[in-house]
Chains A and B, each alone.
Chain A
Amino acid sequence: MSSLPFMPPLTGLPAEVPLSREGIPSTPGVRAARLDGARDLECERANAAMERYARGDDRAFSELYDALAPRLRRYLLRASGDPGRADDLLQHTMLQIHRARGRFIVGAEVLPWAFAIARRLLIDSFRRRKNERRNISLETGGHDAGPVDAAAVQLGADELIDGKRLARALEVELERLPESHRAAFELLKNEGLSIREAAEVLGATPTAVKLRAHRAYAALRAALGGLIDRI
Chain B
Amino acid sequence: MLDPDLKRRILAATTSERSPTREQRAISSALRAASALAVPLLLFALAGGPRVGPRPVGLVAMTVLGTSGIAASALLLAVGRGPSMLGRSRRRLLGSAAIVPVAFLIWKAAVSSGVPHMMDPWPTRPGLRCFALTALFAAWPVVALVWERWGSDPLHPRALGLALGVAAGAGAAALVDLWCPVAHLPHLLAGHGAPILLLGGLGALVGARALGVRVPR
Q: Are B90 and A56 in contact (CB under 8 A)?
A: no
Chain B residues, CB < 8 A from A202 = 155
Interchain CB contact under 8 A, B17 and A99: yes
| Residues in chain B near residue A168, CB distance under 8 A | none
CB atoms of A91 and B6 under 8 A apart: yes
Nearest Cβ distance between residue A87 and chain B, in whole angstroms?
6
A99 to B85, Cβ gap below 8 A?
A: no
1/0 contact string of A95-124 vs chain B (CB within 8 Å)? 110111111110111101100110111001
* Contact indicator A103/B83 (Cβ below 8 Å): no
Query: A61 in the interface, Cβ–Cβ < 8 Å?
Result: yes
Asked if A108 and B84 make an inter-chain contact with CB atoms under 8 angstroms apart, the answer reads yes
Interfacial chain B residues near A128, Cβ < 8 Å: 215
CB distance from B6 to the nearest CB of A (A): 6
A92 to chain B, nearest CB (A): 6
Residues A95 and B83 in contact, CB atoms below 8 Å apart: no
In the complex, what's the smallest C-beta–C-beta distance from B3 to chain A, in angstroms?
A: 7
Bound CA–CA A99/B212 (angstroms)? 14
A92 to B217, CA, bound (A): 11
Check if B13 sits within 8 Å of A120, measured CB to CB. Answer: no
Count of chain B residues near A, Cβ 8 A: 36
Residues on the A chain within 8 Å of B19, using CB: 98-102
CB-CB under 8 A from A94, the residues of chain B are: 10, 14
Q: B85 to A102, Cβ gap below 8 A?
A: no
Report the bound CA distance from A117 to B212 in whole Å.
Answer: 10
Most buried by B among A56, A89, A91, A105: A105
Most buried by A among B19, B83, B152: B19
Q: State in angstroms the CA–CA spacing of A113 and B84 once bound together.
A: 8
Cβ-defined contact, B13 with A91, below 8 A = yes
Contact between chains at B85 and A104 (CB < 8 Å): yes
Of A92, A112, A203, most B-chain CB atoms within 10 Å: A203
Determine which of B9, B23, B85, B216 lies in contact with A105 in the assembled complex, contact meaning CB atoms within 8 Å. Answer: B85
Which A residues lie within 8 Å of B6 (CB)?
69, 87, 90-91
B86 partner residues in chain A, CB cutoff 8 A: 112-113, 116, 200-201, 203
List of A residues within 8 angstroms of B187 by Cβ: none
Nearest-neighbour CB distance to chain B for A192, whole angstroms, equals: 18
- The yes or no answer to A55 lying at the interface (CB within 8 A) is yes
Are A119 and B215 neighbours in the complex by a CB distance under 8 Å? no
Name B23's contact: one of A56, A69, A121, A124 (CB within 8 Å).
Answer: A56
A70 within 8 A of partner (CB): yes
Please measure, in the bound complex, the distance between the C-alpha atom of A14 and the C-alpha atom of B8, giving whole angstroms: 47
> Which residues on B sit within 8 Å (CB–CB) of A99?
17, 19, 151
Q: Is the CB of A101 within 8 A of B9?
A: no
Contact B21–A91 (Cβ < 8 Å) = no
List B65-96 residues whose CB lies under 8 Å from chain A. 81, 83-86, 89-90
Q: A105-B81, A108-B83, A116-B154 are in contact. Are A54 and B22 (CB under 8 A)?
A: yes
A73 close to B2 (CB less than 8 A): yes
Q: How far is the CA of A116 from the CA of B145 in the complex (A)?
A: 22
Given contacts A91-B9, A116-B86, A119-B154, contact A102 B21 (CB under 8 A): yes
- State whether A120 and B213 are in contact (beta carbons under 8 Å apart), knowing that A62-B11, A65-B10 are contacts in the complex: yes
A194 contacts the other chain (Cβ, under 8 Å)?
A: no
Q: How far apart are the CA atoms of A96 and B2 in the complex, in Å?
A: 19
Are the C-beta atoms of B22 and A117 separated by less than 8 Å? no
Q: Is the CB of A56 within 8 A of B7?
A: no
Given A92-B215, A105-B85, 18 new contacts (CB under 8 A): A61-B14, A90-B10, A91-B13, A95-B14, A99-B151, A100-B151, A102-B24, A103-B85, A108-B83, A112-B86, A113-B84, A116-B86, A120-B154, A120-B212, A120-B213, A124-B215, A200-B84, A202-B155
5 residue pairs, one from A and one from B, having the closest CB atoms: A102-B25, A203-B155, A113-B85, A120-B154, A56-B21
